[in-house]
Structure 1
Amino acid sequence: MTPAPVLAVQGLVKRFPMRGGRFVNAVNGVSLEIRPGETLGLVGESGCGKSTVGKLIMKLHDPTEGAIVVRGQNIAGLSRRLMKPVRRQIQTIFQDPYGSLNPRMTAGAIVGEPLKIHGIASGRDLTRRVAEVFEKVGLRADQMTRFPHEFSGGQRQRLSIARALIVDPEIIIADEPVSALDVSIQASVINLLIRLQKEMGLSLLFISHDMSVVEHVSHRVAVMYLGRIVEIGPRDMLFSNPQHPYTQALLSAVPVAKPGARRRERIVLKGDVPSPVDPPPGCHFHTRCPIAEDICRQKAPALNTVDGEHRAACHLRAPDAPAARSAA
């Protein structure tokens, strides 16, 4: 039996107002869920809305519509005061480890601050807990008195991870956690996250534009395009048998790491990503899709089941679509 999700996002919408009464349609009806101990990879091009989804879940932005359900409680409309205990359950790791750390605070004070805010520990108990989490993320306790500028980029991201873990959360929102790091450092931070997830039973939303990284860390993968989920499913299914033309194009651009491995045929998308201020009607991807038909320009596709938990939002991949078999 599939365990109940620790996090379920239902019909999430976020529109940012602009001058003249117009809106940026950043997130448009996103639904997803994360189960206990699972990593859901959320991937897509820059500007597709994936980071906004993470900020909405953290309530750094208030959603325009939709529900954010954490352990059965809809937090979408909670006030700042009522959100405080929920924030212990959901922590985040930001993309820029230097920009997210206060340069005037020592590393130990930065990591220990959430314990003070939530009234969990103080004094020697706080110092002990901080030292323990430093060791857990691969830092030394004697580094607690240093300032952020005295750490390398990889060490600063470990500080960010330590700060997220210190309150023993259930869910981690990891927003491009390795994209600002050197390639040589990325693997060690990714492996650290995987190890900590297994040890602590964490559930992760791993946001990235790098399909190779997402494949390595995720159990399931959701692909976003212009504010919508266009494909979602178990990692192995999605990578071995991508159904949406956009997913196929993303995977065709991934370099092949193994010598002699067969490369996917490169799919070059024409045109630019449409503006989220004025998205095209129907399927948002139809302006760049190599197999688009009239229905794609007129009607937004639903996420249709392909196989088990594998779903794709494409009219031509729907089970009852006449062109589904020929387009596959």
Structure 2
Amino acid sequence: MTAGTILSVRDLRKSFDVGGGLLRKSGTLQAVGGVSFDIGPGETLGLVGESGCGKSTVGKLIMKLHHPSDGAIFLRGVNIAGLSRRAMTPMWRKVQTIFQDPYSSLNPRMSAGAIVGEALTIHRIASGAEKTRRVAEIFEKVGLRADQMGRFPHEFSGGQRQRLSIARALIVEPELIVADEPVSALDVSIQASVINLLIRLQKEMGLSMLFISHDMSVVEHVSHRVAVMYLGRIVEIGSRRRIFGDPQHPYTRALLSAVPVADPAARRRERIVLKGDVPSPIDPPPGCHFQTRCPFAQDICRKVLPDLLPTGGGHKVACHVRMPDAVA
């Protein structure tokens, strides 16, 4: 962790006890298995992977919606991993979240203005006329009108509801935003406007952001650095340019090969089709967790779990095999 780092996650782990059933094996599900990364001031780290890889669990652990099984979460140098809910309350002013579903995350019985302004009361930041002024100001900032403050969530469109969620997160002026699939529930036609809003507000307010998504195209657009997760572990992390231009892990290459290319004249990546399903996190395979689907797997991959090791320039990869140069 370097000076000025907003968030530093170290060897973060989370396991759940799972009961058995007719079609389900009992045991311990390791949702997050030793994840480490840093986020600097004004930086966006994109966290990507298939559904069930543990990326949303990482976001919930940072927000303390789940309690970590092990590891450390340093928020501005303070390890919040073991903090109680009461001790965590003042820290929530520094870190806020934007959830995937903008409707289920909003109280349908509260007006939009009350929803957005609630945090000002909880953190004792403002009340009365000052509270109303701040709420009106943040409404305008996210592209809503102040005269909409008295409306209820069902009176807004999906895109407007997500703007309400963004306003609620930003009203306390946090340093870090955890955005968990913030546009995946929205129509494609309005996704771009919400993404561009987040980018603009990040620059204006100097925000840091953990952007969780399964959409590689969106992550490429918003992120400065990218971390790729597979079965609870980060298998590759590096700058956006390196991840999208010269990926070193076969799983990253497979994800990128599936991204549609809009320009018919552009050179396309060779399509990599992964065989089989993602293994169960209750009973992961020995060695590298990706070895059952990897077209480059060798004997060592079936025996030894690779460490996430630096390859230069801040890039790290967890793979025993040296990949040939990527074709962009």
Q: TM-score range, shorter-chain basis?
A: over 0.9
Match of 2:122 among 107, 117, 123: 117
What SS does the aligned partner of 2:296 have? coil
Matched, 1:283 2:296: no
1:232-311 to structure 2, matched below 5 A, reads 232-311=237-316
Match of 1:210 among 207, 211, 215: 215
Q: Does the CA contact (< 8 Å) of 2:180 and 2:211 recur in 1? A: yes
Count of residues in correspondence between the two structures? 321
Structure with the largest fraction of helix: 1
1:94, distance to aligned residue in structure 2 (A): 0.1
1:306, distance to aligned residue in structure 2 (A): 2.1
The residue number in structure 1 matching 2:7 is 7
1:54-65 to structure 2, matched below 5 A, reads 54-65=59-70
Matched, 1:43 2:33: no
Q: Does the CA contact (< 8 Å) of 1:44 and 1:223 recur in 2? A: yes
1:259, distance to aligned residue in structure 2 (A): 3.4
CA distance in 1, matches of 2:64, 2:44: 20
User: 2:13 corresponds to which letter in structure 1?
Assistant: V
CA distance in 2, matches of 1:257, 1:307: 32
Q: Does the CA contact (< 8 Å) of 1:274 and 1:280 recur in 2? A: yes
1:23, distance to aligned residue in structure 2 (A): 1.0
Structure 1 residue ranges without an equivalent (≥5): 318-323
The residue number in structure 2 matching 1:81 is 86
The residue number in structure 2 matching 1:313 is 318
User: 2:283 corresponds to which letter in structure 1?
Assistant: D
Q: Does the CA contact (< 8 Å) of 2:247 and 2:326 recur in 1? A: no
Q: Does the CA contact (< 8 Å) of 1:50 and 1:224 recur in 2? A: yes
CA distance in 1, matches of 2:139, 2:42: 22
CA distance in 2, matches of 1:185, 1:19: 41
Match of 1:156 among 154, 161, 165: 161
The residue number in structure 1 matching 2:189 is 184
Q: TM (normalized to structure 1)? A: 0.96
Per-residue CA shift, 1:187-220, capped at 9, x if unaligned? 0000000000000000000000000000000000
What SS does the aligned partner of 2:283 have? coil
CA distance in 1, matches of 2:37, 2:279: 24
Q: Does the CA contact (< 8 Å) of 1:29 and 1:228 recur in 2? A: yes
CA distance in 1, matches of 2:272, 2:33: 26
What SS does the aligned partner of 2:131 have? helix
Structure 2 residue ranges without an equivalent (≥5): 21-25
Q: Does the CA contact (< 8 Å) of 1:3 and 1:36 recur in 2? A: no
CA distance in 2, matches of 1:288, 1:311: 21
1:305, distance to aligned residue in structure 2 (A): 1.8
Following TM superposition, the consecutive aligned residue runs of length 4 or more in structure 1 with deviations greater than 4 angstroms are 324-328
Per-residue CA shift, 1:117-154, capped at 9, x if unaligned? 11111111110000000000000000000000000000
The residue number in structure 2 matching 1:320 is none
CA distance in 2, matches of 1:290, 1:327: 15
Match of 2:235 among 221, 230, 237: 230
Q: TM (normalized to structure 2)? A: 0.96
Q: Does the CA contact (< 8 Å) of 1:26 and 1:48 recur in 2? A: yes
Matched, 1:128 2:133: yes
Q: Does the CA contact (< 8 Å) of 2:246 and 2:325 recur in 1? A: no
1:106, distance to aligned residue in structure 2 (A): 0.3
User: 2:14 corresponds to which letter in structure 1?
Assistant: K
What SS does the aligned partner of 1:286 have? coil
CA RMSD in angstroms comes to 1.4
194-203 or 258-267, which deviates more: 258-267
